[in-house]
Amino acid sequence: MAPLPPYATLLGIRLGAPGVLTMGYAAHLIGSPGRLHGGAVAGLMELAANLAVRDALNDETASLKPVNVTVDYLREGAPEDSHARAVIMRLGRRVANVRVDAWQADESRLIAAARLNILIARG
């Protein structure tokens, strides 16, 4: 597992259950009063996608570049811990197509869902 970068530390990201990244609630994640900033949730989902691809590649020399991300916001993010799980739809030679779900207390009630394309530059 690669170490988490400074931006992940800023968000308070840690490894949760297997395959799950958790963003521990902190006051500096708040956007409008009583709600997480959508950008913080997007950041969590991007990191989950990156980590999933990095793990699946098992290639230390490959570098990953985000091509794009689309985030659907489904519910307000409450001031509590958030979780994200990435599913790799396809791992190609050059591109990984990834889906990410984000939730809080109840995994069946998603707060956001994202799709990402990640460019893989193999060393």
Partner 1 sequence: MSEPNLPDDAARMRGFFDRFLQAVPHLGALGIRYSDQGKDWAELSLPYAPQLVAYPETGVIASGAIFSLMDTAAGFAVLVALGRFLPHATLDLRCDYLRPATPGETVFGRAECYKLTRRVAFVRGLAHDGDPAHPVAHIAGAFMLTEG
Q: Which stretch binds partner 1 (CB under 8 A): 70-78, 82-90, 91-99, 100-108?
A: 70-78
* Cβ 28 to partner 1 shortest distance, Å: 4
Count of C-beta atoms within a 10 Å radius of residue 93: 7
* Cβ 72 to partner 1 shortest distance, Å: 5
Tokens of 28: 């500096």
Q: Does 101 bind partner 1 (CB under 8 A)?
A: no
Count how many residues are written for the chain: 123
Give dist(CA 90, CA 54) in Å, integer: 13
User: Is the distance from CB of 84 to CB of 20 less than 8 angstroms?
Assistant: yes
Q: Does 23 bind partner 1 (CB under 8 A)?
A: no
Among positions 59, 65, 87, 109, the unique one binding partner 1 when judged by CB under 8 A: 65
What distance lies between CA 97 and its chain's CA centroid? 14
Provide the binding-site residues for partner 1, judged by CB under 8 A.
5-11, 27-32, 36-40, 42-44, 46-47, 65-73, 76
